[in-house]
Amino acid sequence: MSESSGQVEIQSETDVLQTRQRARTAAEQVGFGTTDITRIVTAVSELARNTHLYADEGVMEWDQITDNGRTGLTFVFKDDGPGIADPDAALEGEFSTSNGMGRGLSGTQTLMDEMEIDTEQDVGTTITITKWHS
């Protein structure tokens, strides 16, 4: 069965695993190669963990998109968590507020073609990432 969009609620470690598996299936359906699939799933893993770690819960929505004949995959992570205090610094990858490598967000940006962060303190965060299939 082939789906071009969907969503995963992120509330537990198992849900984080679920986001990776759904991202992998979606990327395979678009026809991405193994390396791009790994880049996408790694990026999704970073953002899903951030959602679970900082906001406790949230949702990942994914959508297959087209633009000028090319196909892409976009993922939106939404939460009502504490927000990111300094998104620019987080993107520099120079500091870490958790026990990751301190490169979660900057790494995600490196692995994807597009990334947009919309965050407000005490309101929540929405991060959109896109990878185009060349």
- Residues binding other proteins (CB under 8 A): 13-14, 16-18, 20-21, 24, 34-35, 37-39, 41-42, 45-46, 49, 99-104, 107, 110-111
Q: Which of 79, 106, 73, 71 is nearest to 16 (CA)?
A: 79
User: Would you say 37 or 76 has its CB closer to other proteins?
Assistant: 37
Burial of 3: CB neighbours in 10 Å, binned 0-12, 13-18, 19+ = exposed
User: Would you say 17 or 123 has its CB closer to other proteins?
Assistant: 17
User: Would you say 10 or 120 has its CB closer to other proteins?
Assistant: 10
Q: Give the nearest distance from C-beta 68 to other proteins in angstroms.
A: 26
CB of 104 closer than 8 Å to CB of 54: no
Q: Give the nearest distance from C-beta 55 to other proteins in angstroms.
A: 16
Q: Give the nearest distance from C-beta 36 to other proteins in angstroms.
A: 9
SS3 of 22-48: HHHHHHHHHCCCHHHHHHHHHHHHHHH
